[in-house]
Amino acid sequence: MSGALTSGALTPGALTPSAPRAAAPRPAAARPAEPRRPLGGRGRAALGRAGRAALLATGRQPVPDAIEPLVQAHRLHHPQADLGLLGRAYRTAEASHRGQMRKSGEPFITHPLAVTMILAQLGAGTTTLVASLLHDTVEDTEVTLDQVSADFGPEVAYLVDGVTKLEKVDFGAAAEAETFRKMLVATGDDVRVMVIKLADRLHNMRTIRHMKPASQVRIAKVTRDVLIPLAERLGIQVVKAELEDIVFATLHPEEHARTRALVTAHEADPDVLLQPFAAALARQLAEAGVAAEVTVRPRHGVSVHRLMVKRTGAAGPDGLPQGLHPADFGRLLVVVEENADCYAVLGELHTCWTPLPGEFKDFVAAPKFNLYQSLHTAVAVDGEVVEVLVRTRQMHRVAETGVVALGDPHQPGGQPAGQAAGQQPSGQPARDELDRTDPARPGWLSRLLEWQQETPDPDAFWSTLTAELAGDREITVVTEAGETLQLRAGASCVDAAYLLGEETGHRCIGARVNGRLTALSTLLEDGDVLGVLTDGAAGPGGAAEPSGPAPEWLSYARTPGARLAIERWLADHPAGAPVVHTGPSAGQPAPQAPPAAGRGASPVAVAGLPGAPVRLARCCTPVPPDEVTGFAIRGGAVTVHRTGCPVGERMSDGGREALAVTWVADAVPPSGYRVTLQAEALNRPRLLADLTAVMSAEGIGIVSAAVEPPQELRVRHTYTIELPTAGTLPLVMRAMLRVSGVYDVCRPQPAGAGNTDDPFPQAVRPSWGIHGPAAAFSGRRSVTGTRGTEG
C-alpha cells in the first residue's frame, strides 16, 4: 500500500508529480480565506506567458516544461533557488538516458525525475536535487564522474559518487554489501547521500510490481532490514511510513489485504469520534487564547496492523480478544507556534478531558535520538482512548522530514542549498546556532563507521549491519564524569565500557549504575548514571596488560563495536594465559610486579614434601607474612591455614598432622592472593561507590562485596579481593582508610574464632599494623563469603 507522504509544509500531500497539494488546515480561530483574484485582470495562462516573456527578456534560459512541477515544489521551500542549474542538470540527465527504458516500459528519465520530485517535496536544497537528477548517469550511462565534477562542481560529484552502485563484475556477490558500506562511509561526510538513496529506493518500491516475484521479495527484505531503519534514524518519517506499507504489501499480501479492508470499511463509516473531538479541542483552545491547528492524522497501514495484532493478543474485559476501536485508526495532531504553547495545550487537554496515567511522554524537553520532538498524551473521550500529539511548526517539519528539515550542512549557518545567506525557506524561522545537531552524528552513524573498519569481510559486515539497525530506538546514558553516551536500546554495561574506549572495555571489572554496584550484564535504561570500574590505567610506567574480557561477555554485549573488540581480544589471548593486575594508588608508587619466574609458582614450601600442590585456604585467606600451618588433604595436596584458624584447629583435633610450611619469597599464586577485608564507617551516601573506586585504583580484583544493615549510623562493609602481590595489601588498606567516613579497616577474625573487643586481634593483625581509631562494633560477625575446610 503506497501511502501519502508529506512535504515540509504542515499538511500531508502525495509525493508524486501528478498529485495536487493539499490545502493547509485552518487555524483554530482563523477566518475563512477570501478567494484570490487574478492580478491585473490577467488569467493564469496569461500570467504564465508573461512570466516566460520576462525570463527571455532577461536572457535566462527557461526551464524545460518537464520539470515545471518540480520547480513549483522546489520554490515552495526555496524561493531564491538557482533554476538554471536545475534545468541544465535535467538536460544532461535526459540526453544521457535517452533511449533507455525501465522495466515498466517508461523512459528511464522518469525515474530520476520522480526521485527528485520526492526530494523537492521534502524540502531538499538545490544541490541535492541536481545530484538526484544525475544520480544514475555515472552508473548507467557514458557520463564520467570527472565530467559531473567539471560541469556541476565537486559537491554534486561527491553526492552522485556516494549513491553509485559498485559493479558486480568487480565485487561479485559482495557488491550489494560493499555498495552499502560505500554509501554509509560517504554519508558520514554528507548525510545527503543517504537522503538521495532513500528517495531512490522509495520510487523503486512504488514500481516494484514490475519486477520478478523473487526480485520483489529480495528488494523488500533489504528495504525492511536496512533502508527503513536508516530512514528512522535520519528522522524522515514520511519516507519510512510509505516504505513500511509497500514492504508489508510485498512480503505479507494477505495480512495487508485484511488490514486494508479494515481501513476501507472504517473510512466508509461517518467519523463520530475523532473529527468531533478535534473540533471541540479547537474551540477550547481558541477560547483559551492558544493559536493552534488541530487535525486528525490517519494511521498508515503498518501502524494499524501492529495495533490490530496488539489488540487481538490481549484479552478484553469479557476475556475475549479485542478488536480495533474507532480511535485506533487515527490520532489528533495539534500544531502551535511556540514551545510554551505545547504545554498550554497539554494543560487544556488534561483539564477538560480525563488523561490516562502512564500515557504522557515529553519528547520536547528530551528529544529522541533522531531529533523528534512532541508531547504525547492520551485522554478518554466518550469511553474511547484518543491519542494526541502536540508540537510546534518547526518540530513538525523535523518530525516529518528529519535531516532534510535541517538544511544543507555545508552552507553557512545551515542554510539550505540555493538559499541566499541570511534568508530562510518560506515559513521557516531562523535556526538557532546552538541547534545545529544532526541525528546522524555523533551517535549511531559514528559508531557504525568505527566498527565497519574492523569487518573487512562483506558477509560479516552485512550481518552486523542488519543486527545494529534492528534496534528501533536509542538511549542516553551519562557517566559519573559527565560524559554523554548514546547507546542502542538493550545495551549493557559492557557495551558502555567499550563505547568509552577499547582500552577501558578491556580493563573493565565492574560497574555502578545510579550509584549502586551492579553486574556487567545489567541492561541500561535511558537516563542512567554509569560508573565504569577498571583495573588500572595503562601508560608508560603504569599498569601492565589488562586482564581483558571473559568469553561470557559475548552473551551480553549488544553493540557490534563491543562484540568485535571482545572477539579480537579473545583471539589474541588464548585461555589460561596469566595476567598481572597492578596499579598505582594516589600519592603512592606503583607496586612492582614480581619477576615472571615467580608468577604461578607455589607460594609456600612444605617441609618433607617438595613439589606437593599447595592450596591457600579460603576460610582464613592467608597471605605473607601471616603465620601459617599446612595439612595434607586428599590427592596429595596441602591446604594452608593461618595459625589460629578454627578450621585448621578442627583438622588438627581430628588427627591430621600439622606440616611445617614457609613462605617462598617472590612467589605468587596464578590468580594472586585472595584476602578478605572489613571496613567500618559512618553510614553515608556513595560510601560503597567510593570504597570500590579506591580499591579499583590500586589494581586489585573485587571478588565479592557485602554490606550489613546500618546500626546506630555505623555500617560494616566486607570485601573479598584478589591481590597481585602480598605487598599490595597495606596499600589497599591505607587507601580504604583515607575514604571519608571510614574509621577502621582490618582483616576479620577467622570464622568461629570467638569475639574480641580488639578491632585488630593479634592473631590476624598484619605485621605492618595498619588500623584506624580504636573503635569497633561489639559482637563481630564472621566474614561473608566463601568458606571451605580444604581451601
Residue 467, pLDDT score = 74
Q: Which of 91-95, 540-544, 704-708 has the lowest mean pLDDT?
A: 540-544
Question: For residue range 593-613, what is the model confidence (pLDDT) as tens digits?
Answer: 444 345 556 788 877 777 777
Residue 193, pLDDT score = 93
Q: How confident is the model at residue 410 (pLDDT cuts 50, 70, 90)?
A: low
Q: How confident is the model at residue 453 (pLDDT cuts 50, 70, 90)?
A: confident
Among 463-477, 533-547, 585-599, the range of highest mean pLDDT:
463-477
For the chain, what is the total number of helices (H) and then of strands (E)? 27, 21
69: enclosing H helix or E strand:
helix 68-77
Q: Residue for cell digits 519516507? A: 239
- Report which of residues 371 and 238 the model is more confident about: 238
Q: Grid coordinates representing 178?
A: 560493499
Q: Which of 80-84, 374-378, 389-393, 753-757 has the lowest mean pLDDT?
A: 753-757
Residue 715, pLDDT score = 87
Q: Is the pLDDT of residue 341 over 50?
A: yes
- The answer to whether the pTM exceeds 0.95 is no
Active-site position among 140, 255, 454, 758: 140
Asked if 732 contacts 569 with a C-beta cutoff of 8 angstroms, the reply is no
Residue 25, pLDDT score = 41
Active-site position among 82, 106, 139, 454: 139
Q: Residue for cell digits 478535534? A: 278
Mean pLDDT of 702-714: 82
- Percent of the chain scoring above 90 in pLDDT: 31
Q: Grid coordinates representing 506?
A: 578491556
- Give 693-750 as a 3 state SS string: HHHHHCCCEEEEEEECCCECCEEEEEEEEEECCCCHHHHHHHHHHCCCCEEEEECCCC
* Residue 140 a catalytic site member: yes
- Report which of residues 787 and 484 the model is more confident about: 484
Asked if 399 contacts 372 with a C-beta cutoff of 8 angstroms, the reply is yes
Question: How buried is 641 (Cβ within 10 angstroms: 0-12 exposed, 13-18 middle, 19+ buried)?
Answer: buried
Q: Is the pLDDT of residue 196 over 90?
A: yes
- Report which of residues 432 and 677 the model is more confident about: 677
The one-letter code for the residue type at 540 is P
Mean pLDDT of 46-64: 49
* Residue 433 a catalytic site member: no
- Report which of residues 569 and 47 the model is more confident about: 569
Q: Is the pLDDT of residue 166 over 60?
A: yes
Asked if 489 contacts 477 with a C-beta cutoff of 8 angstroms, the reply is no
Among 33-42, 67-76, 555-564, 591-600, the range of highest mean pLDDT:
67-76
- Report which of residues 788 and 478 the model is more confident about: 478
Nearest Cα to Cα of residue 787 among 643, 632, 674:
674
Strand partners, 389: 333, 376
Residue 546, pLDDT score = 61
Q: Which of 88-92, 224-228, 725-729 has the lowest mean pLDDT?
A: 725-729
Residue 276, pLDDT score = 94
Q: Is the pLDDT of residue 443 over 70?
A: no
Q: Is the pLDDT of residue 477 over 50?
A: yes
Mean pLDDT of 430-450: 56
Q: Which of 25-39, 526-540, 718-732 has the lowest mean pLDDT?
A: 25-39
Q: How confident is the model at residue 558 (pLDDT cuts 50, 70, 90)?
A: confident
Q: How confident is the model at residue 585 (pLDDT cuts 50, 70, 90)?
A: very low
Q: Which of 35-49, 245-259, 710-724 has the lowest mean pLDDT?
A: 35-49
Residue 471, pLDDT score = 63
Residue 646, pLDDT score = 85
Q: Is the pLDDT of residue 18 over 80?
A: no
Q: How confident is the model at residue 51 (pLDDT cuts 50, 70, 90)?
A: very low
